[in-house]
Protein backbone atom coordinates (compact mmCIF):
# COMPACT_ATOMS: atom_id res chain seq x y z
CA UNK A 1 0.00 0.00 0.00
CA UNK A 2 1.80 3.10 -1.29
CA UNK A 3 1.50 6.28 0.73
CA UNK A 4 2.85 9.69 -0.14
CA UNK A 5 3.00 12.44 2.44
CA UNK A 6 3.93 16.03 1.68
CA UNK A 7 5.29 18.51 4.17
CA UNK A 8 6.94 21.90 4.20
CA UNK A 9 4.29 24.21 2.84
CA UNK A 10 3.65 27.61 4.31
CA UNK A 11 3.48 31.31 3.68
CA UNK A 12 6.33 33.36 2.31
CA UNK A 13 6.84 36.74 0.73
CA UNK A 14 7.62 37.11 -2.94
CA UNK A 15 11.25 36.37 -3.62
CA UNK A 16 11.46 33.95 -0.74
CA UNK A 17 12.13 30.23 -0.64
CA UNK A 18 10.47 27.09 0.62
CA UNK A 19 11.32 23.42 0.60
CA UNK A 20 8.64 20.80 0.15
CA UNK A 21 9.25 17.19 1.05
CA UNK A 22 7.49 14.06 -0.14
CA UNK A 23 7.93 10.88 1.82
CA UNK A 24 7.08 7.67 -0.02
CA UNK A 25 6.34 4.42 1.75
CA UNK A 26 5.07 1.03 0.70
CA UNK A 27 6.60 1.09 -2.76
CA UNK A 28 7.39 -2.33 -4.21
CA UNK A 29 8.97 -0.88 -7.34
CA UNK A 30 12.67 -0.16 -7.20
CA UNK A 31 12.37 2.91 -9.41
CA UNK A 32 9.47 5.17 -10.18
CA UNK A 33 8.51 8.71 -11.10
CA UNK A 34 7.63 11.21 -8.43
CA UNK A 35 5.97 14.31 -9.75
CA UNK A 36 5.19 17.59 -8.06
CA UNK A 37 1.90 19.13 -9.10
CA UNK A 38 0.08 22.25 -8.06
CA UNK A 39 -3.50 23.34 -8.25
CA UNK A 40 -5.46 26.49 -7.54
CA UNK A 41 -9.26 26.69 -7.29
CA UNK A 42 -10.90 26.64 -10.68
CA UNK A 43 -7.76 25.64 -12.51
CA UNK A 44 -6.51 22.31 -13.74
CA UNK A 45 -3.75 20.62 -11.82
CA UNK A 46 -0.37 21.12 -13.48
CA UNK A 47 2.94 19.39 -13.09
CA UNK A 48 5.81 21.66 -12.10
CA UNK A 49 8.67 19.19 -11.64
CA UNK A 50 9.37 15.48 -11.52
CA UNK A 51 12.14 13.02 -11.02
CA UNK A 52 12.80 9.38 -11.80
CA UNK A 53 14.14 7.91 -8.60
CA UNK A 54 16.67 5.58 -10.25
CA UNK A 55 18.54 8.05 -12.42
CA UNK A 56 17.65 11.13 -10.44
CA UNK A 57 17.14 13.07 -13.65
CA UNK A 58 15.06 16.15 -12.89
CA UNK A 59 12.40 17.50 -15.22
CA UNK A 60 10.72 20.88 -15.00
CA UNK A 61 7.84 22.84 -16.37
CA UNK A 62 8.94 26.00 -18.15
CA UNK A 63 7.18 28.14 -15.58
CA UNK A 64 9.55 27.06 -12.80
CA UNK A 65 12.82 26.36 -14.60
CA UNK A 66 15.69 28.10 -12.91
CA UNK A 67 13.66 28.67 -9.74
CA UNK A 68 12.63 25.20 -8.57
CA UNK A 69 14.89 22.22 -7.97
CA UNK A 70 13.68 18.65 -7.54
CA UNK A 71 15.92 16.06 -5.91
CA UNK A 72 15.64 12.73 -4.19
CA UNK A 73 17.18 10.79 -1.36
CA UNK A 74 16.78 7.13 -2.25
CA UNK A 75 17.85 5.87 1.16
CA UNK A 76 15.18 7.94 2.87
CA UNK A 77 12.60 7.42 0.11
CA UNK A 78 12.12 11.15 -0.02
CA UNK A 79 11.79 13.63 -2.84
CA UNK A 80 12.28 17.34 -2.33
CA UNK A 81 11.12 20.41 -4.16
CA UNK A 82 13.25 23.44 -3.40
CA UNK A 83 11.46 26.57 -4.49
CA UNK A 84 13.20 29.91 -4.71
CA UNK A 85 12.41 33.33 -6.15
CA UNK A 86 8.82 32.57 -5.37
CA UNK A 87 6.12 34.63 -7.03
CA UNK A 88 2.51 35.25 -6.01
CA UNK A 89 1.44 33.12 -8.98
CA UNK A 90 3.18 30.14 -7.36
CA UNK A 91 0.48 30.19 -4.70
CA UNK A 92 -1.30 26.83 -4.85
CA UNK A 93 -1.81 23.52 -3.16
CA UNK A 94 1.15 21.35 -4.03
CA UNK A 95 0.89 17.59 -4.36
CA UNK A 96 3.40 14.87 -4.90
CA UNK A 97 2.39 11.90 -6.99
CA UNK A 98 3.92 8.53 -7.76
CA UNK A 99 3.51 6.10 -10.60
CA UNK A 100 3.85 2.32 -10.89
CA UNK A 101 7.44 2.25 -11.97
CA UNK A 102 6.99 3.50 -15.54
CA UNK A 103 9.93 5.08 -17.32
CA UNK A 104 8.14 7.65 -19.39
CA UNK A 105 8.49 11.39 -19.27
CA UNK A 106 7.77 12.08 -15.63
CA UNK A 107 6.98 15.80 -15.87
CA UNK A 108 3.96 15.37 -18.06
CA UNK A 109 0.43 16.31 -17.06
CA UNK A 110 -0.76 13.13 -18.78
CA UNK A 111 1.72 10.83 -17.07
CA UNK A 112 -0.25 8.00 -15.41
CA UNK A 113 0.33 8.83 -11.78
CA UNK A 114 -1.52 6.45 -9.51
CA UNK A 115 -0.64 7.51 -5.99
CA UNK A 116 -1.20 10.98 -4.56
CA UNK A 117 -0.40 12.79 -1.37
CA UNK A 118 -2.86 14.92 0.54
CA UNK A 119 -1.34 18.21 -0.59
CA UNK A 120 0.36 21.08 1.17
CA UNK A 121 -0.50 24.75 0.80
CA UNK A 122 2.01 27.28 -0.45
CA UNK A 123 1.06 30.94 -0.24
CA UNK A 124 3.27 33.66 -1.69
CA UNK A 125 2.36 37.22 -0.84
CA UNK A 126 3.45 40.26 -2.80
CA distance to 58, 91, 126, per residue, from 36 (Å): 11, 14, 23
Lowest mean pLDDT among 1-10, 45-54, 74-83, 103-112: 103-112
Q: How confident is the model at residue 101 (pLDDT cuts 50, 70, 90)?
A: confident
CB-based burial of residue 75 (10 Å sphere; 0-12 exposed, 13-18 middle, 19+ buried)? exposed
Backbone dihedral angles phi then psi of residue 90, each to the nearest 5 degrees: -85, -5
Q: What is the pLDDT of residues 31-48, one digit of tens each?
A: 999 999 999 999 999 999
Backbone dihedral angles phi then psi of residue 79, each to the nearest 5 degrees: -125, 135
Amino acid sequence: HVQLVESGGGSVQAGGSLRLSCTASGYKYSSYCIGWFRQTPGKAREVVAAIYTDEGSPEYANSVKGRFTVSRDRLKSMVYLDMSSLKPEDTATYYCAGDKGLRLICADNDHPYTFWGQGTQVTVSS
